[in-house]
């Protein structure tokens, strides 16, 4: 199914994806990387160009804009996408490639001869024969996560501003930095957004309307040993590396890890171990859909640390756990209006919506917790955060139509 949006979406995604916007959790700045502002400045100019109002870049690095209402009495709806790409894979020098009228077979990559993408690897691709598929060139991620969301919102905004006869309430747009490192929602964003409810366009397969995410904590375990010259160390040296390894070894391996769990099961994931014989720092993320499950994982980690501490009183082992984000379901299930509206708009397009719990978080998780209910909607993105990342232009067009249906439906008396 071809639409008038296809060429615009393709052109936008290709252009946005070529701009490196990788975030970095180790800089401590806001936004975490200045390169994200390269795309933000472009979006500022484009939003102004299409006639949006109140276009501005906040000092926390978000771009905000308004599409003024064309109808009275409708709720203020926020539309969000994040501009940063994941730190987990190469993201500089993205060369987007359009595979027009995909033939259903294997896709190869100019810059990585050994790499192929096929329906065997990515079953959803098997449903996309005849679509225009966009990939990177083999050595980088594509960044459809979440520049597809940016392209969808920009195309819908351009369409609404060019067609003021379409009835809709006030629409607030926010393009956020640093979502991939959990920093997309600044404490000031809910007030600046000033929406009754909002949607992130940061989901995958067509039909996905998600209102449940993980609840997430992050732990930092610090092991301080006793450092001394190894030549005179007998009876004195306490090696932090041995103790740090012991903690990792004592945590569950064959259960409760990301690689051994799926669906509604949570996990503990040791994702970084840095240091020396003198001192080691472990970083661990804790995930569960329920708060008691999350607390139990924190307790397990503390017990493991205490057990290893007991074997070596001369070391000092500390375990700090801080909250990251919470399952948005806790709030959304009390008022399903935003979810029901998205589902109805989806059915208007002849697509039966599906709601799968997200094994991760979105800007919407945090935004919901801060008082702006914010489910997550599909864009079409697949195989994200790696070299096989791909998206169908026609899926993005369906997401754009969903966006338009949704704001139109919300304005019906």
Pick the piece of the chain touching Zn ion (CB under 5 A) from 154-162, 197-205, 292-300, 304-312. 197-205
CB of 200 to Zn ion, least distance (A): 8
The residues facing 331 across adjacent strands are none
Catalytic residue among 8, 20, 84, 312: 84
Peptide bond into 294 cis (omega under 30): no
> Could you confirm whether 84 is annotated as catalytic?
yes
Catalytic residue among 6, 145, 179, 312: 179
Question: Which of 319, 359, 334, 361 shows the shortest CA–CA distance to 179?
Answer: 361
* Cα 184 from Cα 261, distance rounded (Å): 27
Instruction: State yes or no: residue 369 binds Zn ion (CB under 5 A).
Output: no
> Which among 92-100, 120-128, 144-152, 227-235 is the span making contact with Zn ion, rule CB under 5 A?
144-152
Q: Is 20 in the site for Zn ion (CB under 5 A)?
A: no
Q: Name the one range near Zn ion by CB under 5 A: 195-203, 228-236, 262-270, 365-373.
A: 195-203
Q: Are 199 and 328 in contact (CB under 8 A)?
A: no
Single out the residue of 10, 132, 202, 210 in contact with Zn ion (rule: CB under 5 A).
202
| Of the candidates 53, 51, 75, the residue with the CA atom closest to the CA atom of residue 170 | 75
Least distance (Å) from Zn ion to the CB of residue 2? 27
| Nearest Cα residue to 54 out of 67, 43, 42, 41 | 67
CA–CA gap between residue 199 and residue 362 (Å, rounded):
10
Nearest to 171 by CA among 161, 162, 184: 161
Tell me how far apart the alpha carbons of residues 177 and 65 are, in angstroms, rounded to a whole number: 15
Task: Residue 395: name the closest of 216, 20, 127 by CA.
Answer: 127
Q: How far is the CB of 65 from Zn ion (least distance, A)?
A: 20
Q: In 3D, which of 94, 153, 142 has the Cα closest to residue 117?
A: 142
Q: Least distance to Zn ion from the beta carbon of 86, Å?
A: 8
CB of 121 to Zn ion, least distance (A): 21
Tokens coding 317:
């082992």
145 binds Zn ion (CB under 5 A): yes
CA dihedral (12, 14, 17, 20) positive or negative: negative
Minimal distance in Å, beta carbon 364 to Zn ion? 10
Phi, psi of 223 (to 5 degrees): -110, 115
Look-up of token digits 């980690």 = 301
Q: Count of residues binding Zn ion (CB under 5 A)? A: 3
Q: Would residue 179 show up in a list of annotated catalytic residues for this protein?
A: yes
Q: Which of 6, 8, 146, 210 binds Zn ion (CB under 5 A)?
A: 146
Which residues from 147-176 bind Zn ion, rule CB under 5 A? Answer: none
- Which window, 94-102, 145-153, 306-314, 403-411, contacts Zn ion (CB under 5 A)? 145-153
Residues lying near Zn ion in the complex (CB under 5 A) are found at: 145-146, 202
Catalytic residues: 84, 179
């Amino acid at each position: 199914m071809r639409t008038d949006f296809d060429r615009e979406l393709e052109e936008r995604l290709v252009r946005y994806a070529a701009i490196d916007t990788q975030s970095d959790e180790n800089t401590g700045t806001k936004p975490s990387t200045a390169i994200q502002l390269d795309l933000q400045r472009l979006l500022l100019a484009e939003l102004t160009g299409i006639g949006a109002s109140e276009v501005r870049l906040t000092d926390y690095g978000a771009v905000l804009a308004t599409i003024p209402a064309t109808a009275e009495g409708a709720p203020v709806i926020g539309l969000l996408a994040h501009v940063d790409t994941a730190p987990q894979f190469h993201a500089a020098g993205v060369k987007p490639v359009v595979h027009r009228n995909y033939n259903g077979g294997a896709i190869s990559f100019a810059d990585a001869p050994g790499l192929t993408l096929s329906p065997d690897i990515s079953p959803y691709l098997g449903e996309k024969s005849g679509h225009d598929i966009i990939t990177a060139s083999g050595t980088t991620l594509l960044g459809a996560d979440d520049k597809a969301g940016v392209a969808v919102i920009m195309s819908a905004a351009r369409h609404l501003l060019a067609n003021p006869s379409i009835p809709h309430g006030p629409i607030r747009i926010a393009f956020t930095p640093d979502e991939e490192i959990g920093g997309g929602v600044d404490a000031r964003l809910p007030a600046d957004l000033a929406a009754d409810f909002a949607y992130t366009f940061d989901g995958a397969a067509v039909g996905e309307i998600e209102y449940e995410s993980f609840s997430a904590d992050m732990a930092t375990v610090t092991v301080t040993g006793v450092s001394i010259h190894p030549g005179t160390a007998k009876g004195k040296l306490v090696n932090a590396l041995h103790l740090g390894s012991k903690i990792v070894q004592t945590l569950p391996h064959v259960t409760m890890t990301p690689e051994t769990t799926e669906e509604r099961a949570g996990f503990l994931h040791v994702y970084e171990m840095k240091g020396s014989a003198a001192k080691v720092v472990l970083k661990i993320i804790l995930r569960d859909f329920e708060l008691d499950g999350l607390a139990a994982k924190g307790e397990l980690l503390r017990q493991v640390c205490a057990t290893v501490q007991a074997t070596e009183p001369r070391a000092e082992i500390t375990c700090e756990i801080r909250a990251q984000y919470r399952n948005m379901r806790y709030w959304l299930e009390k008022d399903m209006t935003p979810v029901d509206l998205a589902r109805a708009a989806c059915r208007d397009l002849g697509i039966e919506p599906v709601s799968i719990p997200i094994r991760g978080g979105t800007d919407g998780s945090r935004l919901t917790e801060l008082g702006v209910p914010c489910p997550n909607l599909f864009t079409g993105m697949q195989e994200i955060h790696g070299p096989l990342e791909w998206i169908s232009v026609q899926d993005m067009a369906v997401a754009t139509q969903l966006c338009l249906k949704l704001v139109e439906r919300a304005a019906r008396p």
